[in-house]
């Protein structure tokens, strides 16, 4: 009798279909009861030699079988529809939650574990809701009715049936805590193995290049062995559960049959009463047997329930309390005022230069409205952290981030992020056409608008060189394209949003210097009228920016344009003189 608040909450998404499925399952159980009574009457008539009554009774039995088949088929279809509805609604809720949690959540959660929860965990909830839960309700409703029927025929039979049913239904509850513990161990191991396999598949090229395929295979084999042991441990306990239930069911049925036979042999009951007692005693345990059959379907859902609940109730790193829409009459000014930020303990911030100092410490500068502002600095200087704070993946521990003079926390998160287009180092493309990937930004974009955005990103000619042009299907994660092509396609997608703020986080890092220069020129033209914040690892790509902000170890080093920063003879000038990028100079 496994229940979990998370599973019952999920079941509420399909209350109507589940009620109908449960009602039909109850009707199926009633047909079994009717069949048992009719067979008992037929056998009693045969024992008395009343053969003229056999034909109508057997016809009624056949009718009960046909009705049950029709009801069972309908019940399965409605239950399957209810499970599918729960599955879809639950995945929608979880995916919406992941969207609200944002990238910060995935710094502490493994992608493979999240995938296992979203796929296998939700499938387990489907089985629990569509199969186990209706049967659980029927198993609680029908035995009392059947016991009353037995009591009306042979009250003494209750002396063996009630204890046996009690043991069958409540005896396995002695193992609930152990089952829950074993189930959690099994699910955690299964989730970890799924995460390891996904990670190995995604990094196969690196594993091959480093000669680590064999070591990874051995590690996965060890994790598989752990899963096997967890599975066996769970099955060992479940077999005790099943054995106890079967003992109660079979023992109760046999005991009732023996008592009925003894009573009939002594002349204490009529043939009709004897056969009714035998048939009804067997039917008393049918719901319990059916529940035991659905036990494994329910157990998977219960095992995954804690993981589902943890994901559904996880809180984002920032609270979405803003109400203002991010709609500005023109491109907004971006201002960082004395911003300080330190990543939470245990969370890996890629911009954190060490584990002791703040990622940002008192940073103040302004990105003028409608202009291009570049942010440069060594690895760990805090560049990407600035963008994360602007997008509110985190909130600053001190200071303020302002858009058009208003703190970013005053805007609703959805509106804020819709008003900012982002192109990062890690490009995400989907198994879809080129046009489909571009239209993620604007589903209503025309073919001409797609081509204009692609030209601005310097990728139009290469798209047209593909076999199907914009109708060409890209491989998963855009693997059919080069790294530079993927970045330029992502850049075209960002330009297509026509957002007033454009953030480029080393968006041309995979492009050669000649291609970068061409794209930078096109980008500067396309960015006119937008506030553009650019992080770049090559100085050549930012020298034409209206303003350059230099960061060093989380602090502001200098602000100016290319010429003024060279004249200051500071960090920026030293890097230019050395002919190396900020990333390369200080990371080396």
Assigned domain for 325 exists: no
- The per-residue pLDDT for 169 is 74
Whether 328 maps to a domain, the answer reads: no
Question: Looking at residue 331, what is its pLDDT?
Answer: 87
Q: Which residues of 46-69 are buried (b: 16+ CB within 10 A; e: fewer)?
A: eeeeeeeeeeebeebbeebeebbe
Q: Which domain holds residue 156?
A: 5-313
Do residue 355 and residue 232 come from a single domain?
no
Mean pLDDT for all residues in the chain: 81
Same domain, 221 and 350: no
Q: Give the 3-state secondary structure of 146-184.
A: HHHHHHHHCHHHHHHHHHHHHHHHHHHHHHHHHHHHHHH
Give yes or no: residues 430 and 297 share one domain: no
The answer on 490 and 420 residing in a single domain is: yes
215-231: per-residue pLDDT in tens? 888 888 888 888 888 88
Report the DSSP pairing between strands 334-341 and 360-367. Answer: antiparallel
Assess whether 386 and 277 both reside in one domain.
no
pLDDT tens digit string along 56-111?
989 999 999 999 999 999 999 999 999 999 988 988 888 888 877 766 666 666 77
- Domain of 177, CATH number, reads 1.20.1560.10
The band of 536, judged by pLDDT with boundaries at 50, 70 and 90, is confident
pLDDT tens figures, 19-37: 999 999 999 999 998 998 8
In a domain, 184, yes or no: yes
Residue 413: which CATH number? 3.40.50.300
Question: Which is it for the CA torsion 145, 150, 152, 157, positive or negative?
Answer: negative
Residue 232 placed within a domain: yes
Last residue of a domain, one of 313, 347, 370: 313
> Do 248 and 346 lie in a common domain?
no
Using the predicted structure, report yes or no on whether residue 213 has a pLDDT greater than 70.
yes
Beta partners for residue 406, in sequence order? 403
Q: How many residues in total does the chain contain? A: 588
Query: Number of structural domains, the chain?
Result: 2
**90 and 214 co-located in one domain:** yes
Please check whether residues 71 and 216 belong to one and the same domain. Answer: yes
Highest mean pLDDT range out of 121-125, 332-336, 436-440? 332-336
Residues 178 and 107 in one domain: yes
Question: Does pLDDT of 271 surpass 70?
Answer: yes
User: Does pLDDT of 352 surpass 60?
Assistant: no
Choose between 179 and 421: higher pLDDT: 421
Is the domain of 286 the same as that of 339? no
Report the number of secondary-structure helices (H) and strands (E) in the chain: 22, 10
> Could you tell me if 344 and 457 lie in one domain?
yes
Q: Are 202 and 104 within one domain?
A: yes
- What is the largest distance, in Å, between two alpha-carbon atoms of the chain? 119
């Amino acid at each position: 009798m496994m229940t979990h608040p998370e599973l019952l909450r999920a079941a509420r998404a399909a209350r109507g279909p589940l009620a109908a499925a449960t009602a039909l399952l109850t009707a199926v159980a009633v047909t079994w009861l009717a069949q048992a009574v009719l067979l008992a009457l037929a056998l009693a008539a045969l024992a008395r030699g009343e053969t003229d009554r056999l034909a109508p009774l057997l016809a009624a039995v056949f009718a009960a079988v046909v009705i049950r088949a029709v009801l069972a088929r309908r019940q399965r279809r409605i239950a399957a529809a209810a499970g599918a509805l729960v599955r879809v609604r639950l995945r929608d809720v979880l995916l919406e939650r992941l969207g609200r949690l944002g990238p910060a959540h995935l710094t502490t959660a493994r992608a493979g574990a999240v995938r296992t929860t979203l796929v296998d965990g939700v499938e387990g909830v489907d089985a629990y809701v569509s199969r186990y839960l209706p049967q659980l309700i029927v198993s609680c409703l029908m035995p009392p009715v059947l016991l009353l029927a037995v009591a009306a025929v042979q009250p003494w039979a209750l002396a063996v049936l009630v204890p046996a049913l009690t043991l069958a239904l409540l005896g396995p509850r002695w193992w609930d805590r152990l089952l829950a513990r074993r189930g959690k161990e099994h699910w955690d191991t299964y989730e970890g193995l799924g995460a390891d396999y996904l990670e190995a598949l995604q990094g196969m090229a690196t594993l091959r290049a480093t000669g680590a395929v064999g070591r990874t295979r051995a590690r996965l084999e060890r994790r598989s062995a752990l899963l096997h042991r967890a599975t066996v441990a769970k099955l060992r306990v479940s077999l005790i559960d099943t054995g106890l239930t079967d003992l109660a069911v079979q023992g109760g049925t046999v005991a009732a049959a023996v008592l009925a036979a003894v009573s009939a042999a002594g002349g204490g009951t009529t043939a009709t009463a004897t056969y009714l007692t035998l048939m009804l005693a067997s039917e008393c345990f049918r719901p319990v047997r059916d529940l035991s059959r659905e036990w494994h379907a329910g157990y998977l859902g219960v095992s995954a329930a804690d993981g589902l609940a943890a994901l559904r109730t996880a809180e984002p790193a920032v609270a979405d309390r803003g109400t203002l829409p991010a709609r500005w009459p023109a491109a907004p000014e971006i201002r960082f005022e004395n911003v300080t930020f330190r990543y939470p303990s245990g969370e890996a911030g890629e911009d954190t230069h060490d584990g002791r100092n703040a990622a940002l410490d008192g940073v103040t500068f302004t990105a003028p409205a409608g202009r291009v502002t570049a942010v440069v600095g060594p690895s760990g200087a805090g560049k990407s952290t600035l963008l994360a704070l602007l997008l509110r993946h985190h909130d600053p521990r001190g200071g303020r981030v302002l858009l058009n003079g208003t703190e970013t926390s005053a805007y609703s998160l959805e509106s804020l992020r819709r008003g900012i287009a982002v192109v990062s180092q890690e490009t995400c493309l989907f198994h879809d056409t080129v046009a489909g990937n571009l239209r993620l930004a604007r589903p209503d974009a025309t073919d001409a608008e797609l081509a204009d955005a692609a030209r601005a990103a310097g990728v139009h000619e290469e798209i047209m060189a593909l076999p199907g042009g914009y109708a060409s299907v890209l491989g998963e994660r855009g693997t059919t394209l080069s790294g530079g092509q993927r970045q330029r396609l992502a850049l075209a997608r960002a330009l297509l949003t026509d957002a007033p703020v454009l953030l480029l986080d080393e968006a041309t890092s995979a492009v050669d210097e000649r291609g970068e220069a061409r794209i930078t020129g096109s980008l500067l033209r396309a960015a006119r009228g937008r506030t553009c914040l650019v992080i770049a690892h090559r100085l050549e790509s930012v020298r034409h920016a209206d303003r350059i902000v230099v960061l060093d170890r989380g602090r502001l080093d200098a602000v100016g344009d290319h010429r003024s920063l060279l004249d200051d003879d500071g960090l920026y000038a030293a890097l230019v003189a050395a002919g190396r990028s900020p990333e390369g100079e200080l990371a080396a």
